[in-house]
Structure formats: C-alpha cells, structure tokens
Amino acid sequence: MRTNQQTTLKTSVTLTGIGVHSGNPAEITIHPAAANHGIAFLRTGTTTGNDRLIKAHFACVSATELCTVIGDVETGAVATVEHLMSALYGLGVDNALIEIDGPEMPILDGSAHPFVQAIDSVGLAACGAPRRWIKVLQTVRIETGRAFAELRPIDRGFRLDVEIDFESPVIGRSRKAMDLTPASYRREIAPARTFGMMKDVERYWKAGFALGASLDNTVAIGETAIVNPEGLRYADEFVRHKFLDAVGDLALAGLPLQGAYRSYCGGHRMNVGILEALFADRANYAIVEGQGTRREAARTEFGAGLGIAAFAAEL
C-alpha cells in the first residue's frame, strides 16, 4: 500500500465486548468508507431513538476524564474512542465508519491489539485519492503545572515522545520515543494495556467509572506490585499505553500529522488541548497532499463535507 494514497478497510469487521467504565455490552462494526470521508462514528441505540453521526474530530470531544468522549451525552455520545482511533491511525487507515450500538466502545483486552487484529483480518484497500496531512509549521505548547505537551515541525513523518512520572514505585518515571509507522505500532505500541491503581477503584466506582474493569482488561497496580498474575507485556508497558492513548487522541486532528509530539505527565485533556492550540492559529499548520506537495484545503474543517459511505443505506 503506497503511503501517499488514502486507505480504508476491504470489508466490514465486527467486535463485541463490554465498556470498561459503563460495564455494558457493546458491539461495533468498522465499515469501509469512500475517499475523503475520514473517520466517523454512527451511534445507534440512543435514548431518543435517532441514530447520530459523530465526526472523529477534536471539536466533537465532550469529555476527557479517564477516557475520551465524542458527541453529546444527551443526544448520543461515544466514550473511550482512543484505543480504536489509535489502531486506525497506527495502521494508516484514513476512511472508516464505525457503527456502535451503545454509549461506550468495548474495552476488549485493554489495548489496541484486538482492533489491529480485526483490521488486519480483512485488510486495507486503496481509496484512489491522495492522502492529505496536517503539517506543523511552528511549535505550539501548552502547560498545566509540571505537565506539558507540544507539537513542533519536522521534515517528514510523525514522531511521538511521551514521558510519564508517577509517585507509585510500581510505575515510576519512564519515557518512550518513536517514529510512528504501521510496523512499529504493531510491534511496540498496540499490545500495551490500560492500567489503574487498586487504591482508586472505590473512588472510581462511586463516580461511575471502571464498572467494567477487571484483570482481563486492565493492569491493576497494588502498593508494591502488579496484581495481574501474568505480569506485564513490556517492562515499560505503562508509558507505552500512554503513547497508545496519545496516538488515538491526536488522530482526532482529522488528518494524519506531519510533526513531532512531546508530552510530560500528559493525558487525554492535554492531548486534545494541544490540537486546540495548533488549530487556534492558521499560521501553525498547513494541509499537504501526496508526497509533500503543498495544497491549501478548500475548507478549514478537515473533511467538512463528511458523507456517508455508499454502503450506509443498507444499515
């Protein structure tokens, strides 16, 4: 598959599971979509009875506490989109429609690996249109206390440098930096699981979070050790998962990024916040097409002409 061509899935693929926060069952089907469609979620099973199309875009983010939520809770939202968005971005999928029958994505094993396996099982197809990127032209940075996130220009590709620093001696401080490619993503990032502190479980439950969390989908951290009997998949699995989350949140730019991302003690809020900072000034970025040929977008909202793929009439 040529990297300068847009892609989609060859055919639809379905996954089922439970939401890590709601504990409710969920089924998703990832459908192919036409060129320039981008990524969007078709939320069914809403309280109003009306299906809702939600663009996978940072402007549609409605919450970032413990997970990333897009859409409006009252009329139809989708929570915990970051793992699937990460898999789509990591594998280079430009266009897809995700049909989901409830308010939260299935957590599966807590990583992006099951999504990668599902996408790989059907394969990718070229859409017959050039890929577009968002090229970072000048450095943007946000800070909250000791935490920060920034995007800066680079000549080509997308590089992430993510650092975490937890008081827990089990996690501690670690850093992961890597150029993002489908091969590196599959090998080094996709299998890294979400994690949580055992001491916080009761507080999360009272707040309505982590109701579906278990040792099957979360790395549980005690005071001095990992609770999961199988241990970790990587010695630095915690920072790799934060890297995975950052990829998924930054996918909400609407197009792939050409630039370098750096964060320290970041999270969903800062990942989305750096996109808000980037797009706050038109001088910060440009749209490039094909193999580096500069081209201004016809509209400033990426994929603003979002359309339903040809198969959607059959849903």
Q: Which residues are annotated as a binding site for Zn(2+)?
A: 83, 241, 245
- According to DSSP, the β-strands at 195-197 and 219-221 are parallel
Q: Say whether 205 sits in a helix, a strand or coil.
A: helix
Q: Residue 90 has which token pair?
A: 């990591």
**Nearest Cα residue to 57 out of 40, 79, 32:** 40
**Nearest Cα residue to 264 out of 173, 169, 148, 174:** 148
Q: Residue 71 has which token pair?
A: 């859409």
Reply yes or no on whether 268 is catalytic: yes
Q: Please, what sign has the CA dihedral across residues 170, 171, 172, 175?
A: positive
Q: Residue 110 has which token pair?
A: 């807590």
Residue with tokens 């502190």: 197
Query: Residue 151 CA to chain centroid, in angstroms?
Result: 17
**Nearest Cα residue to 179 out of 297, 85, 273, 258:** 258
CA-to-CA dists, residue 112 to 91, 117, 242, 261, angstroms: 11, 9, 12, 20
CA angle 60–278–285, rounded 5-degree value: 115
Q: Is residue 261 within 8 Å of 207, Cβ to Cβ?
A: no
Report d(CA 180, CA 243) in Å as an integer: 10
CA angle 300–254–101, rounded 5-degree value: 125
- According to DSSP, the β-strands at 257-264 and 158-165 are parallel
**Side chain identity, residue 304:** A
Catalytically active residues, by annotation: 268
